[in-house]
Structure 1
Amino acid sequence: MKIAFVIFDEFTSLDFIGAYDPITRLKTMDFLPDLEWDICSFNDTITDGTGLIFTPTKVREPLTKYDLVIIPGGIGTTSLINNSQFINWIKTSGTCKVKASVCTGSLILGAAGFLRGKKATTHPNYFGELKKYCKVIDKRVVDDGNIITSRGVSSSLELGLYLCEKLSNYEAKEIIRKQMDYQHQ
């Protein structure tokens, strides 16, 4: 299993870290020892919405080799949905088994054409924008087959734990949840 965590300028760090932490524990806690991941970007150096600098491990490489692609949200999505070069790069994930997003990352999935005929969610302030691409569902995590979306920034942990169960099993997810001391059910 190979995962691409996508980052971009002005993304929300917790959207990324909230999903990244529980999912990578699948490997570090020996539930999926063959799990691999990359931090993928369209640019060499990325600055989140607060000025925190991130260095991706893969830059502008096609996303075709990944089983799962996860896209965070953040204020940067508002310009990226109209950036044809970035969206064309995201479209290289078309053959990936599952695409997931946190918050306004779903707008990027929508702009890439992955939400046609699907149900998805995002931060409530962006429900109107998301309606351009799909049927909007007001839930913390929405699973519509090969597309899994989550609501606002705090739902990133729920998405990460949900994906832990989907990639491994309920028991692994629960052990990881308890190790993280995450109380939400």
Structure 2
Amino acid sequence: MRIDVLMFEGVAELDALATYTVFANARRRGLAVEPYLVTADGRTQVTGCYGTTFGDLVPWSPETARVLAVSGGWIVEEIASGVIPRQLAEAKAVGGDRLVLAGIDSGALLLGAAGLIAGRPATTHRVDLERLAEWAEVIDARVVDDGDLVTCGTGWFAGVDLACWLLERELGAAAEVVALEQWIGRDRQGTVWRR
């Protein structure tokens, strides 16, 4: 299962890397996942919102990825420019119902601006819940699962919870996820809300 974690200028470092690390660790444990740090425009380097430079990034592959994880970060400018929202809409059109969109923290707002969550249940960082209501039915839960849309809420480690949930849901890997949580030294928090 290919998992693309979207990187862009101003991406929240921990949102992206914590999520990616769970998937990478799962791969090392023998689970059938292939995580990639990707860009939509083929750039190989971006700088995160706290100044960290990421290199060796690869182009995303919405036609083959099962999950496209979209992190938060400095997204106000991205929403205003419309570039990333347009790219996300194009990726979903290519990936169709098979492509799961995963909004990490305020990454859900980018999905909203892309027109991909209209009226659907979703969550985001608590300070952005009102803004999310422009696009989605707001559910104040740690993880909200609406099939091909899975979002997670507030906190630096919300992406860890989202990644663990997706491993459990997509691979039926509950025992492996428990072992991974024990290795990380952190149990998942909150509830997964499902329709």
- TM more than 0.5: yes
1:114-129 alignment, distance < 5 Å:
114-129=116-131
Relative contact order (alpha carbons < 8 A, sep ≥ 6): 1 or 2 greater?
Answer: 1
Q: Is the 8 A contact 1:62 1:89 kept in 2?
A: no
Whichever structure has more helix as a proportion of its residues is 2
Cα RMSD between the aligned structures? Answer: 1.7
CA distance in 2 between partners of 1:9 and 1:40 (Å) = 12
1:1-185 alignment, distance < 5 Å:
1-32=1-32, 35-41=33-39, 42=41, 43-59=43-59, 63-75=62-74, 77-94=75-92, 95=96, 96-152=98-154, 153-168=156-171, 169-185=173-189
Counterpart residue type for residue 140 of structure 1: R
Aligned residue pairs: how many?
A: 181
Question: Residues 22-58 of structure 1, C-alpha deviation per residue, up to 9 Å, x if partnerless?
Answer: 12222110122xx223211134421111110012532
Question: Residues 69-92 of structure 1, C-alpha deviation per residue, up to 9 Å, x if partnerless?
Answer: 0011012x1111222332221123
Counterpart residue type for residue 174 of structure 2: Y
Question: Residues 86-130 of structure 1, C-alpha deviation per residue, up to 9 Å, x if partnerless?
Answer: 222112321242110111100111111110131101111111110
CA distance in 2 between partners of 1:146 and 1:57 (Å) = 25
Q: Is the 8 A contact 1:121 1:141 kept in 2?
A: yes
Moved more, 38-47 or 103-112: 38-47
Q: TM-score, normalised by structure 1?
A: 0.90
- Evaluate the alpha carbon distance shift between residue 53 and residue 145 of structure 1 in structure 2; reply closer, same or farther with a 3 A threshold: same
Q: Percent identity?
A: 23
CA distance in 1 between partners of 2:77 and 2:65 (Å) = 25
Structure 1: unaligned runs, 5 residues or longer? none
Q: Is the 8 A contact 1:19 1:160 kept in 2?
A: yes
Moved more, 118-127 or 17-26: 17-26
Q: TM-score, normalised by structure 2?
A: 0.85
Runs of 4+ aligned residues of structure 1 deviating over 4 Å after TM superposition are: none
- Evaluate the alpha carbon distance shift between residue 163 and residue 103 of structure 1 in structure 2; reply closer, same or farther with a 3 A threshold: same
- Evaluate the alpha carbon distance shift between residue 114 and residue 126 of structure 1 in structure 2; reply closer, same or farther with a 3 A threshold: same
Structure 2: unaligned runs, 5 residues or longer? 190-195
CA distance in 2 between partners of 1:68 and 1:9 (Å) = 21
Aligned position for 2:193: none
